[in-house]
Chain A
Amino acid sequence: MKTLSRIYTWIIFILLYAPIIILILFSFNDAGTLNKFTGISFKWYVELFRDQAALNALRNSLVLAVSSSLLATVIGTLAAFGINKMRSKFLRGVIRSLTNIPMMNPDIVTGVSMMLLFVAAMAVPFSPLKKLGFTTMLISHTTFNIPYVILSVLPRFKQMDIHLTEAALDLGCPPGRTFMKVELPLVLPGVISGLMLGFTLSLDDFVISHFVSSPDFQTLPLYVYNQTAHEVKYSMYALCALMVFVILVLLLLVNFAGKKGEETKPKKSSAKKRRQQMRELLSGKENAQ
């Protein structure tokens, strides 16, 4: 039974990885076909880096991923803080389920609905929105990133020892500063993993971007899509292999950040320990002054 289950697991994983590994291997294929492997060559990578459109798409992807994940992290972290402090259980429930709509809905519906909103907004006379492009992409990506940020930050706020906040306030720390000095550092692991999650999701998104983009602002997935729609350039394999590699690195980073977070997860601490924690947090403040 044990060996049987092990063989089964291996087979599934081999099947799961085979196409990706073959894709990466053949991105080095000198012949530029998928039929047979003639020799190792980097010429497709060289061709890729000479391709101005691909480099532009890469730049756009990075700009968009950084800005949308940062914006989503700011809004999402504040929202998680606010939701956690909310007294009305009903209101909390409503906001949480509305927030989760983009996660529940198929991407295509989210993309289409966003597009209709933008089309309608552009039809309004004197509207600031003139055409689909960076702005519409930024709005859409931020929208689907926010739920994931809240999802990773809210549990941290819930686990947080509320006495730490109360102590800081009792000691005369204004609420804004308490947030920055006490609460934010405690939830920081969640914030960072939310930020990274948002960054990867934005980098990865194709379906929603497909509907809210224009040809003058293309991201990497859109570029891949347009290239694979017609005659396939062989350098696309090199591009895909590179993207897999980047995702791999990012995933390892996210895992690392998550693990670090678990270590600092506040446990049920004794009063003594809590005082120690408080002192550490406030000493940071003293050093800064």
Chain B
Amino acid sequence: MKKRSFLDTFAAIPHIVWVILFIIAPLVFVVFFAFTDTYGNFTFDNISMLSSYAHIFVLSICFALIATVICLLIGYPLAFFISQCKPSTQKVIIVLLMLPMWISLLIRTYSLMALLDNGGLLNSLFEVIGIGRVKMIGTSGAVILGMVYDFLPYMVLPIYTSISKLDPKLLEAASDLGCSNFKTITKVVLPLSAPGVVSGITMVFVPSISTFYISQKLGGGSFDLIGDTIERQFQNVSTYNVGAAISLVMMILILISVAIMNKFSDDGGEIIV
């Protein structure tokens, strides 16, 4: 190797400074606020107060888990079917799948709300058919539907990526050796696409558990999830510390679950974006 030039050595410096100032320092402040009161004195009160928010944590985790499982059940077959299409068709389908990911979450949620609303199109349709109006906004079903609708592409895409990377010879070998179609899927495709499943689960679970817009719009204010709670704490200076404590706990919970999930995949958990 030749000697390193000035550029080689210092090109990453602005980025490192940026990381320290705007990625590490903010997290340090979250920890700091979580362990201090409004006057800046050290205290454990914020953390111990969290027990009164336990039901919110449980509810959020339940909602996010249900949404993730539904996404997985819908998304896995979809990803598999897409991977079986012709390559040119696959490209088109993947672009179609990515398009909603790029449309603002607000707009997607808002359009779903417009559809489900009491005076919305679906209810007008129900009335015409003769079922009568059904209250959908404000039910837990609507919130979970919103999560599934908003985050489904994030499940399908990584699974599709890992299935399409599979060597087709493996599938041929399995069927040559007498595996039925169903067994090929459960014994060969499923284990080998585990990294995709893991990153799909992460990419659905993390935004689901931290959302506040979906629960506000589709929950009609009758559900308080972690995201709503954090958002409310930060509207008022006096509750910043509690908000920081909730954020800290949520962040740690998520990091732990992501770490556990990544243990299950051999891939080291590279998130596919």
Contact = CB atoms under 8 A, between A and B. Distances in A.
A283 interface: no
Nearest to A105: B251
A103 interface: yes
B243 A112 contact: yes
Given A106-B254, A175-B5, A113 B30 contact: yes
Given A107-B207, A112-B247, A19 B149 contact: yes
B119 A35 contact: yes
B160 to A, nearest CB: 12
A245 B82 CA distance: 25
Interface string B79-121: 0011010000000010111111011111110111011010111
B256 interface: no
Nearest to B216: A229
A16 B115 contact: no
Contact of B152 (A16, A85, A107, A207): A16
Given A35-B119, A109-B247, A20 B240 contact: no
A49 interface: no
A229 B250 CA distance: 26
A247 B19 CA distance: 29
A106 B273 contact: no
B244 A116 contact: yes
Interface in B20-51: 22-27, 29-30, 32-33
B136 to A, nearest CB: 13
A23 B77 contact: no
Interface residues of A, number: 83
A53 interface: no
B22 A117 contact: yes
Contact of B6 (A106, A114, A175, A248): A175
A112 B98 CA distance: 28
A66 interface: no
Interface in A232-260: 236-237, 240, 243-244, 247-248, 250-251, 255
Contacts of B174: none
A18 interface: yes
B130 interface: no
A78 interface: yes
B100 A106 contact: no
A208 to B, nearest CB: 11
B170 interface: no
A86 interface: yes
Contacts of B104: 204, 206, 221, 224, 240, 243, 247
Interface of A: 5-6, 8-9, 12-13, 15-20, 22-23, 26, 33-36, 75-76, 78-79, 81-83, 85-86, 95, 98-110, 112-117, 119-120, 139-140, 142-143, 146, 148, 150-151, 166, 169, 175-176, 179, 200, 204, 206-207, 210-211, 221, 224-225, 228, 236-237, 240, 243-244, 247-248, 250-251, 255
Given A100-B271, A104-B271, 11 more contacts: A12-B74, A20-B103, A79-B11, A81-B7, A82-B13, A95-B15, A98-B24, A112-B247, A140-B22, A224-B110, A243-B103
5 contacts: A79-B11, A104-B206, A206-B106, A224-B106, A240-B104
